[in-house]
Amino acid sequence: MSINARDLSWFVAGILSAIAAGFVLRAVLTRLGERRKSGTILKLSLILGAPIAVLAIVLFAWLVSPSAPTGTGAAAGDVTDHAAAAAPQASAPQPAGSMNELLVRLERRLAAQGGTDADWELLAQTYDYMGRPADVKRARSHHLPATLGSDSAGAPAAEPSTASASAAAAMLEGTVELADALKSQVPAGVTLFVVAKAVDAPGPPVAVMRTTISQWPMRFSLDDANAMVPGRTLSSAGAVTVEARVSRSGMATPQPGDLQSVVVTLKSHDRKSLRLLIDHVIG
């Protein structure tokens, strides 16, 4: 352990003060106890104690002056050097590999389980940091990129299971109709979404069709080509729900004021024709 100049000075000043106080105390006690020797001893004590007391006073005055050392000696220098060395590490950006790994985990979690608006915004900000503006827009529309994980440091993309790979291709077809009471509220050219979601696997839809509508009724078809995430397809799903929605804003997530159909539940491999009737407004 090192002692800097200021600490040593305080220590010496304290010792000198104690010695001076000792001489003065001895003179006082001697005067009270031995009257006949008091003059000689008192003079000797004052002669020895006075200079020590003056030196202690001068040393204390120097210590409290602005010119005294501030304690920025070796120990303080070590702390400063350590902080300076640590600062660049704290502000340095993460290695690309680390950022890519975090991105892959976030993408896969959203693909498998879905997420909150905050999760999707975090994904968008990560894409923005990595210079992927097109994927930023997809994330803010709650969509994952079609090539999930392709920029992620060679991380393997999710592979469909053997069961889903061997399953026959699924296709859902039908028509979307608009209730008469709502026709005045839907001008031509608005955005229409038809969405299929897996009942037993919460997360992103297994198929999405986005188009603009010019006339009613409108025919639609959904198959594996409409998948949002590789490996999460209509063919790999069991039971699914299908619904249609008119989006006034063009956003993929439902917004107040959008018009929505009833929800139809069926097996993904059913070959019956569907009728989706848009009959209510989202409040």
pLDDT in tens, 89-133: 433 444 444 567 778 888 888 887 777 877 888 888 788 767 788
| Cα separation, 170 vs 154, whole angstroms | 31
168 and 277 share a domain? yes
Residue 30, domain member (yes or no):
yes
Residue 205, domain member (yes or no):
yes
- Amino acid code (one letter) for 181: A
Residue 103, domain member (yes or no):
yes
Residue 119, domain member (yes or no):
yes
176 and 209 share a domain? yes
Please give the average per-residue pLDDT across 136-154, as a whole number: 67
CB 216 within 8 A of CB 183: yes
Of 92, 117, 132, which marks where a domain is finished?
92
Query: Residue 139 corresponds to which tokens in the numbers above?
Result: 């994330």
If you ran DSSP here, which 8-state letter would residue 265 be given? E
Residue 130, domain member (yes or no):
yes
275 and 171 share a domain? yes
Residue 68, domain member (yes or no):
yes
**Whether the predicted pLDDT of 26 surpasses 80:** no
| Cα separation, 235 vs 221, whole angstroms | 14
**Confidence bin at 209 (pLDDT 50/70/90):** very high
Of 107, 140, 173, which marks where a domain is finished?
140
Q: What is the CATH number of the domain that holds 268?
A: 2.60.40.2990
125 and 169 share a domain? no
Domain that holds residue 106: 96-140
CB 52 within 8 A of CB 15: no
59 and 72 share a domain? yes
Query: Residue 77 corresponds to which tokens in the numbers above?
Result: 């220098």
Residue 267, domain member (yes or no):
yes
Residue 262, domain member (yes or no):
yes
123 and 51 share a domain? no
214 and 258 share a domain? yes
128 and 174 share a domain? no
Share of the chain above pLDDT 70, in %: 58
pTM: 0.45
Query: Residue 233 corresponds to which tokens in the numbers above?
Result: 């397809």
Domain count, the chain: 3
66 and 52 share a domain? yes
What does the radius of gyration of the chain's CA atoms come to, in whole angstroms?
41
